[in-house]
Amino acid sequence: MTPDMTLSRDIVLVGGGHAHALLLRQWGMDPLPGARLTLINPAPTAPYTGMLPGFVAGHYPREALEIDLVRLARFAGARIIFGTVTGIDRQARQIELPGRPPIGYDLASIDIGITSAMPRLPGFSEYGTAAKPLGPFATRWTRHLEDGGGPVAVIGGGVGGVELALAMRHRMGRAHAVTIVEAEAALSGLSDTTAGKLRAELADAGIDLIENARVARVDTAEVVLEDGRSLPAALTVGAAGARPFGWLEATGLDLHEGYVAVTPELRSTNDAHIFAVGDCAHLTETPRPKAGVFAVRAAPVLARNLKAAAADRPLSAFRPQRDFLKLISLGEKRALADRNGRSFGGAWAWRWKDWIDRRFMDRLNQQPVMSPAPPRLHAAGAESDRMLCAGCGSKVGPGALDAALADLPGPARADVATGHGDDAAVLTMGKTRQVLSTDHLRAFWNDPYTFARIAAVHALGDIWAMGAVPQAVLAQIILPRMTDVLQQRTLAEIMQAASEVFTAEGAAIVGGHSTQGAELTLGFTVTGLAESPPITLSGGLASDRLILTRPIGSGTLLAAEMAGRAHGDDVAAALTTMSTAQGDAARLLSSHAHAMTDVTGFGLAGHASRLAGASGLAAEIDLSAIPLYAGAEAHAEEGIRSSIWDANFSAVTYTGPDNPRAALLFDPQTSGGLLAAVSETIAEKLAADLTALGHTTAIIGTLTQGEPGQITAS
């Protein structure tokens, strides 16, 4: 995005369907300056429908199906929000999600696919599994195999149901029955020639095809037909056609049989601010069957039209092809090709389909490098190719910070105390002790709501670590340049997220300051009240155990995400942990900790060194005991490190192995865990109690006699 361009339009993509995934890729190569792009999807990845039969048959691992939306969003410069949309307030131009503020939009596009769930069929919601959406189905199929398999009933005799049945037969062998039940004639949408070949494939595979029979109900281990027949079914799969998602009915949009009616420009027929594409849309002038090929072909037109609408320019029409090539999987590595009523196939058709599918996935999951060339002439020592991390990874290193603060005079006031080794000061007012701390973060995540939650939890760390109770909060907010409307939307998300965190911990937001700058930065100044003398770094005792309440590796993981290399599921899981408050852990530890700190920018080794050094002790760390964020160690092995890593390493006297896990000791942590020194006699009980509260807790080391601040790892 052009750095000096004011953000003026919010474009929101609802759903991570194929068209939106392709749009993100195109947007990354040619963004629209001044537009803020947002993707809302329930999960960080989206499954690719074309490879589902191959996954069921065992030809592809689960990850081969997954389009990584986190990587695509990073490439596009878009924010991604994990959530399921439940409605659209078209008058307010807001998209509704449970558990967070509505998302404002100027333009919105819907690409949520379809569902094959059967909520009106008795027992299906409890005992059946819809083939679409694909994510839950893939999980259920994996569990079915892990449980030893068993008979399968597929409700629906279209192409999708037949593909799944053949794939299941190939994967399970002939030990378990596979049955297809179709209410009318099976494969009615195909030519007689193609349908005949598929019927022959089913017969050869020993798959029973029951036609003109309706299902009466689904039970735990059987499917009961209306004529009284009972079919054994350890797994019942719904693949009977397609249904739109029900929440669309309440939007007031023009619908055709529940699907969003759109013009040739892919724009809603009764709302110029909303577009729709893919299986959830109905092309009013050129109706087509539900097929992924049309979503893929519509993606470039959608991208052009969203940009044109945001820039008040004319739109162009989408002209779908009349027919398309169907490549139908046959379970084993064979496929049947169908077009214009003709069919042909074999192993070569599978190889063709496999090549098309892999090429499509590579296109989405391997983004091109768009880095600008460095200047030919630059000052000695200047760097242009090294990415500057965000969060705590962008902070000033401990060596430079300590040197800059070394010559400052101590407090001249008797009621102000520093030197506790933490970032907080203690103010004494009569018998009242107030802890004061501040922290701010450069944005590492484009969703202001999620980022604000993490920044709020992060800012509370020093208050919790000193055993104080959060009291009052001042917010410092730097927004990128944006219009008044976008400022209002963004501030509303930030302040609601922060308020949720602070209010739950008993603190009140009492004011703050806001301004505009180059990028989103959030900070909070927090006060807390300490009934007892604050816990400091200096009270640790020899043989004390070190308890850590949260995994490490967030700095490496976030650096990998910024580089487009982290897996979306790993990032989403880390964000959830980083957004979770630790007040309950602090309250439990504060009655027992001899010394305590929070693990943030200096990394676990740096903060453990400061705690041990202030206590006149050394520390021994058990590397195998340290909990790690998923993906962090693998990225460390790739050599990915945060900007501050070198400075963190240089600041600690360290003895131990040089390997990826050890490298994470110096990884800066944003919203990191609490590190407490507790008596060895109660460490195990405390760790168990903290785990019961939901924290990923471990005893990771011991304070020992030795050179103060020395860290030894093994």
Q: Are residues 493 and 466 in the same domain?
A: yes
CA–CA–CA angle 84, 672, 476 (5° rounding)? 75
Q: Tell me, yes or no, whether 93 and 153 share the same domain.
A: no
As a whole number, mean pLDDT of residues 638-653 equals: 93
Q: Do 160 and 195 fall within a single domain?
A: yes
DSSP states along 271-324: -TTEEE-GGGEEESSS---S-HHHHHHHHHHHHHHHHHHHTT---------S--
Per-residue pLDDT reduced to its tens digit, 553-598: 999 999 999 999 999 999 999 999 999 999 999 999 999 999 999 9
Confidence bin at 473 (pLDDT 50/70/90): very high
**What CA dihedral angle connects 674, 679, 684 and 686, to 10 degrees?**
-50
Give residue 674's pLDDT.
98
Alpha-carbon distance 412 to 582, whole Å?
34
The whole-number pLDDT of residue 1 equals 40
Dist. CA 25–CA 447, nearest whole Å: 19
Q: Is the pLDDT of residue 694 over 80?
A: yes
Of 509, 535, 561, the residue at which a domain comes to its end is: 535
- What are the pLDDT digits (tens) for 235-288? 999 998 678 999 999 999 999 999 999 999 999 999 999 999 999 999 999 988
Is 167 part of any domain?
yes
Residue 256: give the domain boundaries. 9-114+244-316+334-365
pLDDT, mean of residues 430-442: 90
State the CB neighbour count (10 A cutoff) for residue 236.
27
Asked whether the predicted pLDDT for residue 80 surpasses 60, the reply is yes
Residues 151 and 95 in one domain: no
Residue 548 sits in the same domain as residue 515: no
Of the pLDDT bands very low, low, confident and very high (cuts 50, 70, 90), residue 326 is confident
Q: Treating both helix axes as pointing N-terminal to C-terminal, what angle do 18-29 and 69-76 enclose, rounded to 10 degrees?
A: 30
Q: Are residues 196 and 89 in the same domain?
A: no
Higher pLDDT among residues 50 and 134, named by residue: 50
Q: Are residues 542 and 649 in the same domain?
A: yes
Reply yes or no on whether 389 is catalytic: no
363-373: per-residue pLDDT in tens?
Answer: 998 887 666 66
Identify the domain boundary among 217, 238, 259.
238
CATH of the domain at 162: 3.50.50.60
Q: Which residues contact 233 (CB under 8 A, 6 or more apart)?
A: 150, 151, 152, 153, 179, 218, 221, 222, 223
Confidence (pLDDT) at 117: 81
Q: State the average pLDDT over residues 334-359.
A: 92
Predicted pLDDT at 565: 92
pLDDT-derived band at 385, boundaries 50, 70, 90: low
> Are 168 and 299 in a shared domain?
no
- Per-residue model confidence (pLDDT) at position 4: 63
Give the residue-averaged pLDDT of 147-176.
95
Identify the pLDDT of residue 340: 80
**457 phi and psi angles, rounded to 5 deg:** -60, -40
Q: How far apart are CA 70 and CA 567, in angstroms?
A: 8
Where residue 643 sits, what CATH number does that domain have? Answer: 3.90.650.10
Say how many domains are in the chain: 4
Residues 529, 542, single domain; the answer is no
Examine the domain organization and report whether 142 and 225 are in the same domain. Answer: yes
Predicted pLDDT of residue 393: 58
For 214, how many CA atoms within 13 A lie in the half-sphere containing its CB? Answer: 5
Q: Tell me: pLDDT of 323 over 80.
A: no
When pLDDT is cut at 50, 70 and 90, the band that residue 2 belongs to is very low
Res 647: pLDDT: 92
The verdict on residue 376 lying in a domain is no
Stated as kind and residue range, the H or E segment containing 348 is helix 347-365
The last residue of one of the domains, among 200, 216, 238, is 238
CATH number at residue 490: 3.30.1330.10
Residue 329 within a domain = no
pLDDT tens digits along 14-40 = 999 999 999 999 999 999 999 999 999
Both tokens assigned to 140:
């259920």
- Is pLDDT of 668 > 80? yes
Q: Say which DSSP state 670 is in.
A: T
396 falls within a domain: no
* DSSP output for 182-220: -SS-TTTTS-HHHHHHHHHHHHHHT-EEE-S--EEEE-S
**β-sheet bridge partners, residue 427:** 416, 434
pLDDT confidence of residue 397:
67
Looking at the domain assignment, is residue 383 inside a domain?
A: no
Same domain membership, residue 205 and residue 183: yes
Q: What is the DSSP letter of 682?
A: T
Over residues 198-242, the pLDDT tens digits come to 999 999 999 999 999 999 999 999 999 999 999 999 999 999 867
d(CA 649, CA 643): 12
- Same domain membership, residue 624 and residue 709: yes
Is residue 669 within 8 A of residue 555, CB to CB? The reply is yes
Q: Is residue 2 part of a domain?
A: no
Query: Which carries the bigger pLDDT value, residue 292 or residue 702?
Result: 702
| Active-site choice (154, 242, 389, 392) | 392
Sign of CA dihedral 56, 61, 67, 68: positive
Residue 5 pLDDT class (50, 70, 90 cuts) = confident
- Please report which confidence band the pLDDT of residue 406 belongs to, taking 50, 70 and 90 as the band edges: low
Mean pLDDT of the chain: 92
Residue 407 lies in a domain: no
- pLDDT band of residue 75 (cuts 50, 70, 90) is very high
Radius of gyration of the chain (CA): 29
What would the mean pLDDT of 532-561 be, rounded to a whole number? Answer: 95
On the question of pLDDT at 416 being above 90, the answer is no
pLDDT of 401 reads: 65
For residue 303, is it within any domain?
Answer: yes
